[in-house]
Amino acid sequence: MATVYLAIQEKFERHVALKVLLDNLARDESYAKRFEREARTVARLSHQYIVPIYDVGCVGKLHYMAMEYLPGGDLKQKIEKGLSLIDSLRIMKRVAQGIHYAGTKNLVHRDIKPENILFREDDSPVISDFGISRQVDSATNMTVTGTLVGTPHYMSPEQAEGEEIDHRSDLYSLGVILYELLTGDVPFTGNSAITIGIKHITQKPPQLPPQFRGFQRMLDKALAKRPQDRYQNGLEFVQALEMLEMSLSDAGSQTVVMQPVSSGQIKRTTQRTGQRSALRTGGARSRVAPPPSTMDRLTDFLLDNSKAFVFGGLGLILCVILAIWFSREPSPYVPDKAVVQSGIDLNKLVENANAALQEKRLYAPPENNAHYFIETLATLSPNNSKTRELSAALFTVYLAEIETALAQQELAKATQYLNQALKLGLYLPDQESKQKLAQVQNKVNALRQKQLIEAEEQGESGRLLEKGNAALSKGVLIPPVQDNAYSYFLQVLESEPENEQARAGIRAVAEALLAKALQAEQQGQSDKARTAVVSATKMLDFEADDHPLKKKLMDSSARMGVSQAEQEPSTVDMAAKLNAEKKQQQAEQIKNWLTSATEALAASQLVDPPEGNAAYFYWRVLEVEPENKIAQAGLDKVVGQLVELGNAALQKKDDGSATRYLEQARNIGANPIAIVQLTEALESAERDRQINSLVKKAENALNNGRLTKPESDNALNYYLETLRLQPENSAALAGIQAIKDKYALFVKGSLSRNDFTQAQAYVDSMQELLSRWADEQKGSNADALFKSLQNEVSDTAGGVATQAESYRQTIGRKIEGLVSVVNRLEKRPANASNNAQLRDSYLKILKVDPQHGGALSGLKAVSDYEAEQAREDMRNRQFTKALQHIAIIASTHDQYDALTALRSELADTEEKHKQSITFINAARKEIARGFQKPSLFGSYDDERKRLRKAYDYVEQAVGVDPEQPAIQSALQLLENEYVSTVSRMMASGDERDAARIVLDTQPYRWSPERLMELADELQRRAGKSGDNILSNLKSAFGL
């Protein structure tokens, strides 16, 4: 969008960054307006960690803005070179302060990322590029219609969804940067901006590596999906970082192992291939296993002094094991063996520090200044008396320099020394030093507030000068006409008596009046001329008598006979008088505000009602008089009372009210020590509640057998979460011991059943417990318990292995005996008894060795035998016996592959049997009705139907169950019925009807021999009578 040039601002002879809008974009009105908006936006901000704007304007078609030149590079470059943990936290805190300040002005940056965090020469960070920022109440949310602004890797979920955002979105982006500083990677990556945005909206960030678990809770809150679940302002973010920083600074003994790095590892590729290298070039600081801040500084010192560790052409490959014991009591320093071997001379450090202090090399040049030497010394020997003396001496010098800078109104210089004092404050834990530091911080902030007010007043002066010049050009010079030039220029001189532009304006007014006087004199208007000369002369009292214009006025006055008595108070006198009146009014107003503040404080109206509370009145005083001690002390009292109310609310377990009081106190910004105390108390109460909740969940899971499973809802998880919050929590330590004890009982029970597989599974669970706990930060009690459990689990594992081996040897002998029995049985003929004995032997072998190949194949063979017996019983319709065979298979070989099919086959055969028997019984019923001779005039049709119906039932039985044994007996019974019926009909002389019945059986699928004999007899009778029907028998049956 713009090009940035390094330029020189000639007026002040200083380097500036000159940002010029690209020519092709300048032609687009929307881009030009956006460029101007950025300038206006940043110009309204005045904060040490936000880039200041010096000038803005347009030359021809070129839109430009001049900003502070920041030569220290950007955060992305520093990340690539490598940052120590303490430096990372320092940067994050300062950027968070800048975001907080912008948030108080309802401004959202919307593109917080490493490239937009630049650095001054003193290494202090500055937020830049507010080109896509906007006011919270602005409707603008896009750079180009339909296109979301921001960088996907650092974009908050609500920004990715195109929703309304506020400063909490910038804090989310800052949380992403913190994650990147700790791990070397952003939490979410993808092939497209859409993919990354979706991950920000839907996925949880990956867990931090074990060595950064202390940051996990803070980052979980910083990267919460919902804004209301995050830190609500930058100060909360800063305080969270400070709590972590204190925990790091208070670390006791620590061992840090720095792994050697090959040249291939140090080289950084452009593609993301898993985790980035553990050590980086440019200082090669480790960010994979960072030690506490003191250790981090020692690492920097050793790496920076790399001459003692260079090995030929391989460069710096360092593997140092440092063990430093921080003693609680002062004692003579005894160098650690590894420090001695490294070649570091502590006495030389003390000598260098003293020399630098004497030569005023306080924090520059790099690596050759008092601060550097003392900080390194504090890292190596924090409790050494020389360390404390030198730290206190440098701290005192810093405080003195701050006071000097404040006295000279040099805010930038005071801020610079304050930053250095804050760094050194880490090594001065005494309360007195902290109080002194807080006091000078308040003074620096007061000067900053004063200069802001002065800047605002200068802005008002500019508007008055503009109006004065406009009135001058119109010829509206002096009262009584309203909006006259002289009145505007005089108002400027009230607050700025030496303002040259206002004086020049008054000179111009006087010159114009002189011209009018001379014109009036020429026209004979002497009174008018005298009045004009007198007015002009009074205006120029601030000029010397030899000023050319003043000499002209004095000459004109003398010529026109203007006496000294006609002179009225001069411009300077009038301005002084007006200024004195204004100061008197301010003093009276301050008095009234202080009275109102005192009354409001007495009535406990601390922050309410709006514009009628104690804090409001004190702030009004400080706006006019930033160094007013009464107002400053009053704000401290307001904060103190709010903190007392917050503590009282905590006692009542009313965290909501306590949080509200804390937020009100933070918004006031005074009495930081009280605010920190309430913050710690509130966090402690919240931590206690979380701990109690976690312990209850853990006990519930423990009592219900959820020891280490399922993945999230188990006792071990809850106990470990508790220990992360409170590493020495006795309930959690006892709970972990109880988990181990339960597993030990389970192991014992499994061993009593000779179930070594299950016993080993329980041992694995115990070892998983230790593995998951190993990476956690542990206090002394936790560490002692951990080591004790390690020994117990190791003993248990060894016992299981020993007992399992003994058992295997025993069962090996048993198997040998069983195999010999099986060999004898397999040689015998197959029968039910032999099969049962084989099955029993195979099962005994498998009980001892479940994977014995011979026994498994043998068990299948005996199951095959039982299956075949079951099928034979099914064919014989002996279903009870078939079921018994199947039950034997199911009870001894439930993994038999044909078991399901066999059961299905039995059920199917039984069903078919039932259906076929139903048809057979129906056929028998028809047969049982017997032969019924028709009446004199009747027919044999019913007989024919009865017999055919009986046959049809038999046919249906065949269709359902062809193997049904009862089918043959039914057909035999039907044949007997046919023979009996045909014989009776022939005996009655009804051969024709008999022949019809015989012909009915022609399509039947059977072989009735006796019926065929009757058919032969009917054929013979047909031959005698020549009956056609009877003759048909021959063709029908092939007779």
Give the tens place of pLDDT for each residue, 689-742: 889 999 999 999 999 999 998 877 999 999 998 988 888 899 999 999 999 898
Phi/psi of residue 257, each to 5°? Answer: -110, 120
Q: Per-residue pLDDT averaged across 328-357, rounded?
A: 61
Tell me which residue of 213, 195, 216 sits closest to 205, measured CA to CA.
Answer: 216
The single residue listed with the structure tokens 């003693």 is 327
Least confident of 401-415, 425-439, 475-489, 984-998: 425-439
Tokens of 423: 């760094």
- Averaged pLDDT of the chain: 80
Q: What is the pLDDT of residue 1023?
A: 65
The single residue listed with the structure tokens 């209850």 is 696
The answer on 245 and 172 residing in a single domain is: yes
Q: Count of CB atoms within 10 A of residue 100's CB?
A: 22
The answer on 221 and 180 residing in a single domain is: yes
Phi/psi of residue 567, each to 5°? Answer: -70, 135
What is the amino acid identity at position 700?
A: N
Phi/psi of residue 403, each to 5°? Answer: -60, -40
Examine the pLDDT at 503 and tell me if it is beyond 80: yes
Q: What is the pLDDT of residue 535?
A: 83
The answer on 80 and 63 residing in a single domain is: no
Q: Report the greatest alpha carbon distance in the chain.
A: 189
Q: What is the pLDDT of residue 577?
A: 59
Question: Cα dist. 745→372, 710, 732, 762 in Å?
Answer: 58, 20, 20, 9
Domain boundary among 795, 810, 825: 810
pLDDT-derived band of residue 201, with 50, 70 and 90 as boundaries?
very high
Domain of 964, in residue numbers = 912-1037
pLDDT-derived band of residue 260, with 50, 70 and 90 as boundaries?
very low
What is the amino acid identity at position 530?
A: R
Q: What is the pLDDT of residue 566?
A: 54
Q: Per-residue pLDDT averaged across 484-508, rounded?
A: 87
CB 277 within 8 A of CB 260: no
H or E stretch covering 55: strand 53-59
Q: What is the pLDDT of residue 140?
A: 41
Examine the pLDDT at 333 and tell me if it is beyond 70: no
The answer on 543 and 587 residing in a single domain is: no
The answer on 227 and 98 residing in a single domain is: yes
The answer on 636 and 536 residing in a single domain is: no
Q: What is the pLDDT of residue 335?
A: 43
Tell me which residue of 772, 964, 815 sits closest to 876, measured CA to CA.
Answer: 964
**Residue 840 included in any domain:** no
Tell me which residue of 305, 311, 339, 304 sits closest to 325, measured CA to CA.
Answer: 339
Q: What is the pLDDT of residue 257?
A: 26
Tokens of 863: 């199951």
Q: What is the 3-state secondary structure (H, E, C) of 590-648?
A: HHHHHHHHHHHHHCCCCCCCCCCCHHHHHHHHHHHCCCCHHHHHHHHHHHHHHHHHHHH
CA distance 934 to 945: 14
pLDDT-derived band of residue 24, with 50, 70 and 90 as boundaries?
low
Q: What is the pLDDT of residue 62?
A: 84
**Residue 315 included in any domain:** no
CB 309 within 8 A of CB 315: no
Tell me which residue of 120, 125, 80, 117 sits closest to 282, measured CA to CA.
Answer: 80
pLDDT-derived band of residue 885, with 50, 70 and 90 as boundaries?
very high
Tell me which residue of 101, 100, 103, 99 sits closest to 116, measured CA to CA.
Answer: 99
Phi/psi of residue 255, each to 5°? Answer: -115, 125
Least confident of 73-82, 541-550, 835-844: 541-550
Contacts of 974 (CB under 8 A, 6+ apart): 923, 927, 947, 950, 951, 954
pLDDT-derived band of residue 484, with 50, 70 and 90 as boundaries?
confident
Torsion of CA 943, 947, 952, 954, to 10 degrees: 160
Q: What is the 3-state secondary structure (H, E, C) of 694-760?
A: HHHHHHHHHHCCCCCCCCCCCHHHHHHHHHHHCCCCHHHHHHHHHHHHHHHHHHHHHHHCCCHHHHH
Examine the pLDDT at 332 and tell me if it is beyond 60: no
**Residue 293 included in any domain:** no
Q: What is the pLDDT of residue 454?
A: 64
Q: What is the pLDDT of residue 402?
A: 94
Examine the pLDDT at 974 and tell me if it is beyond 90: yes
CB 116 within 8 A of CB 127: yes
CA distance 114 to 73: 10
Question: Cα dist. 881→478, 642, 867 in Å?
Answer: 131, 90, 11
DSSP symbols for 144-159: ETTEE-S-GGG--HHH
CATH classification at residue 122: 1.10.510.10
Examine the pLDDT at 487 and tell me if it is beyond 90: no
Q: Which long-range contacts (CB under 8 A, 24 or more apart) does 980-987 make?
A: 980/931, 981/931, 981/943, 981/947, 982/1011, 982/1014, 982/1018, 983/1014, 984/931, 984/933, 985/940, 986/1014, 986/1017, 986/1018
CA distance 986 to 366: 139
Q: What is the pLDDT of residue 1027?
A: 56
DSSP 3-state of 134 = strand
According to DSSP, the residues that pair with 134 across neighbouring strands are: 108
CA distance 135 to 105: 8
The answer on 589 and 563 residing in a single domain is: no
- Say which residue, 387 or 594, is predicted with more confidence: 594
Instruction: Tell me the whole-structure pTM to 2 decimals.
Output: 0.33
Least confident of 327-331, 402-406, 823-827, 944-948: 327-331
pLDDT in tens, 579-592: 667 678 888 889 99
pLDDT-derived band of residue 411, with 50, 70 and 90 as boundaries?
confident
The answer on 219 and 111 residing in a single domain is: yes
Q: What is the pLDDT of residue 310?
A: 32
3-state helix, strand, coil split of the chain in percent (to 5) is 65, 5, 30
pLDDT above 70: percentage of residues in the chain: 82
Question: Cα dist. 905→482, 880, 897, 898, 963 in Å?
Answer: 116, 14, 14, 10, 14
What is the amino acid identity at position 120?
A: R
Examine the pLDDT at 288 and tell me if it is beyond 70: no
According to DSSP, the residues that pair with 7 across neighbouring strands are: 16
CA distance 187 to 132: 24
Examine the pLDDT at 26 and tell me if it is beyond 70: no
DSSP 3-state of 107 = strand
Domain boundary among 746, 775, 810: 810
Provide the number of structural domains found in the chain.
Answer: 7
The answer on 223 and 85 residing in a single domain is: yes
CA distance 362 to 413: 13
Domain boundary among 810, 833, 862: 810
The answer on 88 and 43 residing in a single domain is: no
**Residue 325 included in any domain:** no
Q: What is the pLDDT of residue 251?
A: 38
Examine the pLDDT at 967 and tell me if it is beyond 60: yes
- Say which residue, 796 or 438, is predicted with more confidence: 796
DSSP 3-state of 188 = coil
The answer on 82 and 61 residing in a single domain is: no
- Say which residue, 373 or 130, is predicted with more confidence: 373
Torsion of CA 93, 98, 99, 105, to 10 degrees: 150
Examine the pLDDT at 299 and tell me if it is beyond 70: no
Least confident of 8-12, 137-141, 647-651, 693-697: 137-141
DSSP 14: E
Q: Per-residue pLDDT averaged across 195-204, rounded?
A: 89
DSSP symbols for 434-482: HHHHHHHHHHHHHHHHHHHHHHHHHHHHHHHHHHHHHHHHHT--STTSS
Q: Per-residue pLDDT averaged across 819-836, rounded?
A: 82
Q: What is the pLDDT of residue 164?
A: 87
CATH classification at residue 63: 3.30.200.20
CA distance 475 to 70: 47
Examine the pLDDT at 9 and tell me if it is beyond 60: yes
Examine the pLDDT at 478 and tell me if it is beyond 90: no
Examine the pLDDT at 327 and tell me if it is beyond 50: no
pLDDT in tens, 892-949: 988 899 999 999 999 999 999 999 999 999 999 999 999 988 887 888 999 999 999 9
The answer on 970 and 933 residing in a single domain is: yes
Q: Per-residue pLDDT averaged across 801-811, rounded?
A: 81
According to DSSP, the residues that pair with 107 across neighbouring strands are: 135
Examine the pLDDT at 865 and tell me if it is beyond 60: yes
**Residue 459 included in any domain:** yes
Examine the pLDDT at 266 and tell me if it is beyond 70: no
Q: What is the pLDDT of residue 786?
A: 82
- Say which residue, 324 or 428, is predicted with more confidence: 428
Q: Per-residue pLDDT averaged across 314-327, rounded?
A: 26
**Residue 292 included in any domain:** no
**Residue 832 included in any domain:** no
**Residue 838 included in any domain:** no
CA distance 386 to 378: 9
